Structure 1
Amino acid sequence: MNIIQVNIFLILLIAYQVNSSCLMASKELGDQCSLYCYQVVKPLLQYVNTTTTMTQEQNELQQTIKVQAETIKNLNELMKSKDMQLEQQSKLIKLSESHSQNQQNLINQHKIQSELWSKFNESLEIKSETQQKLIDECKMELSSMKLEIQWKDDKIKKLQTENVKTNELQSEQSSSCIGRLTGFHMITIPKAQPFIVSCESNLAEAGTGWTVIQRRKDGSVDFNRTWAEYKEGFGNLEGEFFLGLEKIHLLTQSQPHELYILLEDFENETRYARYSYFAIGGDRGSYMIEELGTFSGDAEDGLKFLTNCVFLTADRMKYVNDYTRFNASGWWFRRYSFISNLNGKYAFADVDKDAPGVSWRAWKSQPLKYAQMMIRPITK
């Protein structure tokens, strides 16, 4: 029971008691009592009426609030649903954009493939045309080669008829460098096994066909050697070397030879000495210089006192050790004469006058940078 119902009950109870009291009095008093009771109860009835109205309005308001709360709850749930829908739509949009991008990429790739295929077809056409041109060219070249082969066959037949003369000429030249280009060649001479020599044919003043028997250029080879080494030969044909006394002896004894000596100082000035005849004896005679022909050249005569001089090394003759030790090499030495020694200890710079070294003092007192001795058969 609420407050309004309690108030109504109390008003009715009071009215009932007043009305009962009035019924027990006289009629006149009863009318007065009823009037009085009405005046008393009227405000209360008005209050009850007002209270009832307010209660109804309150109930309606609460009902309205309840409905609004329910509406708000529904709206919140609807908003959550909409948010989820929006999120899903956003994901769908992103997926759609990604799909669109993939489609665009596929379109671009297809476009590129189409372009490549088109270029490939064009290249095939060009290649086909090029191949056809090459085939045509090959046919023409083949025809030309056939004609050239026929011409060469004719030439070979012609050369074969001259083969005997050519073999005879090669046989005559096999014992020297005559007719051979600059480089290394095998030669054959009597009383010796075939051996390789360095041929020189690039000297404008001297001519062609020279056999190099000695070379000095950079000090890479030690020329302070024993008698056996000078007899056999040593060094490198591409650089510094000494051909060997026995080979030089056999060469100069097999047929007449001339001698050409090329010299260069540290100022790059070149000179030469040439002898119209050159021959040395054998081992028993200590490879003596037996003959020197007429001298010519601009280096002065550095061998003019060495005719009939024997070849000496430090281990060969004790009484000439002073010469061989001073010059640190083997050479055709003459007592009290130091006019030349192309086998001397190499000096790596332009040193003082009369210092040991590759020497040709008939031209220059200081040691030389380069020396090369060459021989060639005398031709008529």
Structure 2
Amino acid sequence: MMTKPTVAVLGIDLGKNSCSVAGLDDTGRVVLRRRLSREGVVRLTASMPTCVMAMEACCGAHHLGRVLREQGHEIRLMSPEYIQPYVKAQKNDERDAEAIAEAATRPTMRFVELKSEAQLEMQILHRARTRLVTERTALINQLRALLLERGIIVAKGRSRLEQHLASMLDEGAPAPMALSPRTLLLIEDMRLEWRDLDRRIAALSAEFQVRAREDQLASRLATIPGFGALNATALVAAIGSAETFHRGRDLAAWLGLVPRQVTTGGKPRLLGITKRGNVYLRTLLIHGARAALPSLVDSPTTMGEWLRGLSARAHKNKVIVALAGKLARIAWAVLRSGQGYRKGDMPVIA
């Protein structure tokens, strides 16, 4: 009597309603192919011996990964770009599942750390705030365009526009001849919407401040120059305690803050930063570095000396990006060491 083959690695190609699974045995041979719903995947894995469950790190993968981990399985999440080379011939869901399973067996594969519910919640809050900021920017631009079409030019800056609208609508000054009563009502409605967006953005920002104080990892990150509540909570939500990264440079590379390399014939050539990975985190780090640069460049520390030397030979924007990469490495060290950043630890230049 033939024994049922044992699945060593199960690749799961996630979909909204249906998922394709492909199971490999110890030799890498495909011994199982199924198309199931998400609930069917959970029922199937509950009846299987403990094995490796491989998925793309996409929407819904972390929730399903936690469910499968509770069943005793080992979870391996991978970036979709690393799985693409293993897809054979024409692309379909079954071959995608097989490629996921095969990629999970490679010893050089890089895996994504499974996120907790708290991390996913924090990421949702950051994405909601980003959406609100984008909506506010679009609303302000539309207001400026509306006024400009009627010959009213307002100086740059959000506060300048607020002051102009206040003088035009609140202080009882006669309305400009170019603006009809209906247009004034529309501008007032847009200003009310602007105020509501300000209130919602401020509420989320205040919540990040509270969470940064309560979370141990985020509070340690907040001790680093250029790190505020936004940077700290966003980074912790993305990487947790940074156990996935073996060194600080790996984190900087994951954020796209290291130079691109073009090497041929043994001659290395470094170009601009790769801009890979999380755009939001990279933007926060660069803005944080821009805010911290003036104080750091004047400090009598090793970092201050490094920044002064770099500023003498490079453009300010390059210095800011280089500092952002340095801050990413410091953040990795702070997360892995369990201690906060202390400026006094840096040697003082005589």
Length-normalised TM-score, structure 2: 0.17
Indicate the structure with greater strand content.
1
The structure number with the bigger radius of gyration is: 1
| TM-score, length basis structure 1 | 0.16
- Could you say which structure has the higher helix fraction? 2
